[in-house]
Amino acid sequence: MALYQRLYGLYSVMERWIVPELRHAQEHYHTTLRDLAAEGPRWLELGCGWHLLREWQEKEERDLVATVPFLVGLEVDEGALRKHRTIKDRVVGTASTLPFHDESFDIISANMVVEHLDEPAVQFAEIRRALRPGGVFVFHTPNLHGYIATTARLLPEFVKGPLIQLLEKRTAQDVYPTFYRANTKEQVEELAMQTGFDVVRISRVTSTAQTAVVTPVAFFELLWLRMLERWPRLEPFRTNLIVELRRAA
């Protein structure tokens, strides 16, 4: 742990020097959720796991949850669901068959979940069913054209687990199969048209370096991230998507 802290400290110095405007994609997503909290009192979080934001955003998460009158978390992993740190109302289930009546929610959100959907047309349609007319589906997911998702698709599954554990300190229990079937701007627009959503926005954002604890590699990754941040032509290759879809009447 002490070694990780020293490595992250060194990385932070490099980041401030090379690309000081860089923000973690989860910070972008938190801002989006905070702004949407006024959209309505009934909110469903898909694939909530044991936290709504990242581990290091506990204060922000608690502040956000406190502003929502009614928040439900849905998760297929019952073990993760039981230890959720902020959401009190929790349900075991999947996005394919949401256990809720039609038009139950004003907002449905998903943080790093959409890449795991195996039939996004089916699941988007089910999400639309559970939203009231004018309700918002907002999600944060990897951009398939970004270098991280591209690399992840090329790696065999037996390599991904140890690599994620090294770089992100996530255990094998927190790693799920990915399909990347709703992870480009074009895919999302097509799915929205098929399932009765209007596209409010599809934002491509960058995030902090994945290789932060591997200092020599992180240096070159930060140079690439600087280019992604500052060269408009490279925007399609930013690492993450933050999407807002609104249910048509």
Report pLDDT for 233. Answer: 97
Enter the pTM of the model: 0.91
What is the band of 213 on the pLDDT scale with cuts at 50, 70, 90?
confident
Find out whether 97 and 48 touch, Cβ atoms under 8 Å: no
What domain range is 146 assigned to?
2-247
Q: What is the percentage of the chain residues whose pLDDT exceeds 90? A: 81
Confidence grade of residue 119 (pLDDT, cut at 50, 70, 90): very high
Question: How many domains is the chain partitioned into structurally?
Answer: 1
Q: Which residues touch 48 (CB under 8 Å, ≥6 apart)?
A: 73, 74, 75, 81, 84, 87, 90
Statement: residue 154 has pLDDT above 80: no
Q: Which two tokens stand for residue 43?
A: 């909110």
- Strand order of the β-sheet with 70-75 is 89-92, 70-75, 42-46, 105-111, 131-142, 240-247, 197-205
pLDDT computed for residue 171 by the predictor? 54
The answer on pLDDT for 166 being more than 60 is no
Give the residue with greater pLDDT, 88 vs 163.
88
Across 9-18, 159-168, 203-212, least confident range:
159-168
**pLDDT (average), residues 94-104:** 97
Integer Cα distance of 226 and 212 in angstroms: 15
Q: What is the pLDDT of residue 174?
A: 55
The predicted pLDDT at position 144 comes to 96
Q: What percent of the chain has pLDDT over 70?
A: 91
Strand partners, 235: none
With CA atoms as reference, report the closest residue to 139 among 36, 5, 39, 22: 36
Cα-only R_g, the chain: 18
Q: Among 108-122, 157-171, 195-209, which is the least confidently predicted range?
A: 157-171
pLDDT number for residue 160: 59
**DSSP secondary structure of 148-176:** HHHHHHHS-HHHHHHHHHHHH---GGG--
DSSP letter at 115 equals: G
Residue-wise pLDDT tens digits, 55-98: 999 999 999 999 999 999 999 999 999 999 999 999 999 999 99
CA dist list (Å): 140 to 20, 32, 157, 249: 23, 10, 22, 24
The CATH number for 24's domain is 3.40.50.150
